[in-house]
Amino acid sequence: MLEQAEQLLQDYFGYSSFKKGQKEIIESILTGNNTLGIMPTGGGKSICFQIPALCLSGVTLVISPLISLMKDQIDSLNALEVEATFINSSLSNLEIKERMAKTCEGQYDLLYIAPERLQSKEFISQLQASDISLIAVDESHCISSWGHDFRPSYRLIPKLITSLSNQPVVTAFTATATKEVRKDISELLRIEEESIYVTGFDRPNLKFNLISGDNKKDFIAEYVEVNQDDAGIIYAATRKEVDQLTSFLKQKGFSVGKYHAGLGGQERREVQEKFIFDELKIIVATNAFGMGIDKSNVRYVIHHNLPQTLEDYYQEAGRAGRDGEPGECILLFHPADIRLPKFFIEKSNLTPQFKKRRYQQLHKMIDYCYTTKCLRGFILNYFDNQQLINDCDNCSNCNEEQELIDITTEAQKILSCVYKTEQRFGVTTVACVLKGSKRQKILKLGFDQLSTYGLLKENTIKEIKDLINFLIAEGYISLTNSKYPVTKLTAKAKPVLAGREEVYYKVRKKIKRITSQNSLFSILREFRMKLAKKEDLPPYAIFHDSTLKQMTEQKPITKEAMLEIKGVGPIKFQRYGKFFLEKIKEFAVQETARQETATTTDTPSHLVSYNLLKTGKSLSEIANLRELALTTVQSHMVRSLQEGFDLNLDLFVSHKNRDLIKNKIKEIGAERLKPLKEALPEEISYFQIKLILSAKEEYLEL
């Protein structure tokens, strides 16, 4: 069975080996054990049930929380020519009837449904009449009331299972299960402890950045500018903030859309589609966006506000880099941000017990913002991972990339202004006093008489506010929890005012691009986009970015070489891969032409082939690329050697054959080639004889 699974992995999905945990999970399912897989986002959960679905005789019922996710997965499966479909509220009754009839007839390998469907008695009886061999419960933490996304309909799954006459195997997956959630899932779905596979939560390709005290809008504008070719999600806490940020970025000319629960269903669907189809690069959204977004090439996720829990944060941030390519997760933090999630919890309808738990979770989230230790280590430790990381070298705490500027004088001016305004005013008023503003409010309060009035008049109000916010983030000033937060000095401020301590402002280093620019990658990405439109598929259902990236690096120009690329199996090659092969060939020819003109305008043809050999291409690849006969390329090699160019003979003639040829030359001479060829073993070619004849004696000895 496992051999069959490995074959399917190669033939359908184009991968030569399993990812961590996949093999064990698939083996456990195929042995007939109810199985739980706890794998990080991007860990490859889908394949864990899709391959068994292809091995088993009946249909695999996949229970998945969101319609968009289903459609994406079905698109990807259909691109692989797998018989799969979904049933949800977006279909008409007639369509549902037809699909269910086909299910009962056993025409599908996979049927995706939303859990709410299980409320229908008719639907349950149709499932009872079908041959279900496997039930896969995706996002299975939704079954637990401890989870952050509890969905009551998930509780109908155990009932469905017991109602089926031939007990199917049950498998469940999640990325974010804490101990309590794990216990709930395994009890409710009857999964034994030894059939729980935890592959860890680590996402090594993600870089975690915590930016505190920075001006958030400035940061975002700079960031999306630098990374404008890449897709990203920006999460904000409220609809209003989403609206504001979207207009701000639109005005700056970025390709941006917004998503929140206040928009109409149609509008939301359109934005989501555009994002998935790479037509919109950035999406600004509340946390209503994303669950079930299967887009694999999201390169960054920025949180403009503080999430309520680390579970939420890791799940949302984890939408970056699902294809395993580098991704960045940035949390923009300001101490004043703590108020909003507190307010949400306070206003919620949660029981006191759950409220308390929410507060505990929020405190962990806040601790994350203040820790000076490894951010990845902090997250992994929270999720109860055994494998402790203290120095990941891929988070902002491990590789602190900041330059320090002494701002002690400015800090003293600000702190003393907070003191002089009697610790009764907000950031804006303090900034106005320091600027020396003539605003009515300032004058009325008599603040123009203060000794701190106009002390920072050279700076703009925005710069002063940024500095005050920095001092808040660093804990020199605190803000009250009131409706209009008021600035107060903390104990940390005293030694600064007394001149005993200095304050340093951390200047952020320039933002770097996440992905490097590459012209072949852009060509392939554009071509994929066209193909996707024609096929009405999301681009990544054709090939993931990681697959395109590997194509760019290896530039395969033969079918065999193309099949070596991860993500290109025989089926995908036939459907799409062969067209990409042509594109790469075209590019390589143009590149050669460019190189030719770059060196001299008329590099001799044999040297063009010689140069290509030096880049690691084989003779047949060169022939293929230049559309020349193999014998012509061989003659190019002989000529290059005759002209004294260095050639590694080991590539073409074994030492044994070299000796044979040399001895024969000594024996019968080399006036004519034909007798020499006939006197040698058949497998020795004219090309090899010519090479030996052309090589200088001392060269041959090497």
Q: Give the separation between CA 548 and CA 520, rounded to whole angstroms.
A: 9
The answer to whether the beta carbons of residues 63 and 168 sit under 8 Å apart is no
Q: How far is the CB of 547 from ligand ADP (least distance, A)?
A: 8
Q: Which helix (H) or strand (E) holds 30?
A: helix 22-30
Q: Which tokens belong to 371? A: 């820790």
Scan residues 21-50 and list those touching ligand ADP (CB under 6 A). Answer: 22, 39, 41-47
Contacting range for ligand ADP; rule: CB under 6 A; set: 13-21, 104-112, 231-239, 648-656: 13-21
Q: Which is nearer to ligand ADP, 544 or 606 (CB)?
A: 544
If one asks whether residue 140 binds ligand ADP (CB under 6 A), the answer comes out as: no
Say whether residue 18 binds ligand ADP (CB under 6 A).
yes
* Selected binder of ligand ADP within 6, 10, 11, 15 (CB under 6 A): 15
Q: How far is CA 479 from CA 484, 587, 611, in A?
A: 9, 59, 67
Query: Segment contacting ligand ADP (CB under 6 A): 11-19, 112-120, 212-220, 426-434?
Result: 11-19
Nearer to ligand ADP, 130 or 199 (CB): 199
Output the smallest distance, CB 19 to ligand ADP, in A: 4
- Residue closer to ligand ADP by CB (options 25, 47) is 47
Nearest to 5 by CA among 47, 61, 60, 62: 47
Which tokens sit at 61?
């019922």
Secondary structure of residue 493 in the 3-state scheme = helix
The residue from 2, 6, 19, 454 that contacts ligand ADP (CB under 6 A) is 19
Please choose, from the candidates 340, 360, 137, the residue with its C-alpha nearest in 3D space to the C-alpha of residue 236.
340
Give 18 or 447: the residue with its C-beta nearer to ligand ADP. Answer: 18
Burial class (CB in 10 A: 0-12, 13-18, 19+), 458: exposed
37 vs 34, 182, 228, 385, CA distance in Å? Answer: 10, 10, 36, 15
Least distance CB 45 / ligand ADP (angstroms): 3
Question: Smaller CB distance to ligand ADP: residue 43 or 213?
Answer: 43
Q: Residue 45 or residue 555: which is nearer to ligand ADP going by CB?
A: 45
Coil, strand or helix at 240: helix
Is residue 626 involved in binding ligand ADP (CB under 6 A)? no
Angle subtended at Cα 160 by Cα 159 and Cα 164, rounded to the nearest 5 degrees: 120
CA-wise closest residue to 585 among 551, 535, 619? 551
Write the interaction track for ligand ADP spanning residues 531-570; mark x where CB under 6 A is met and - where it is not: -------------x---------------------x----
Q: 400-436 as b/e, with b when 16 or more CB fall inside 10 Å?
A: eeeeeeebeebbbbbbbbbebbeeebbbbbbbbbbbb
Of the two residues 16 and 247, which places its CB atom closer to ligand ADP in the complex?
16
Identify any residues that bridge with 258 across adjacent strands, giving them in sequence order: 284
Distance CA 354, CA 369 (A): 23
Looking at beta carbons, which residue is closest to ligand ADP?
A: 44
13 within 8 A of 567, measured Cβ to Cβ: yes
Which one, of 142, 131, 138, 126, lies nearest residue 170 by Cα?
Answer: 138
CB of 569 to ligand ADP, least distance (A): 11
320-359 footprint of ligand ADP as x/- string (CB under 6 A): --xx------------------------------------
Of 619, 558, 564, 555, the residue nearest 590 (C-alpha): 555
Q: One symbol per residue from 284 to 323: x for binding ligand ADP (CB under 6 A), - otherwise; what is it?
A: ------------x-------------------------xx
User: Closest CB to ligand ADP among 324 and 335?
Assistant: 324
Question: Which CB, 18 or 580, lies closer to ligand ADP?
Answer: 18
Of 281 and 544, the one with the shorter C-beta distance to ligand ADP is 544
Q: How far is the CB of 22 from ligand ADP (least distance, A)?
A: 6
The interface region with ligand ADP, picked from 16-24, 349-357, 401-409, 451-459 by CB under 6 A, is 16-24
- For ligand ADP, which is the closer residue by CB, 200 or 604? 200
Q: Which residue has the tokens 């409706």?
A: 483
Instruction: Name the site residues for ligand ADP (rule: CB under 6 A).
Output: 15, 18-19, 22, 39, 41-47, 296, 322-323, 544, 566
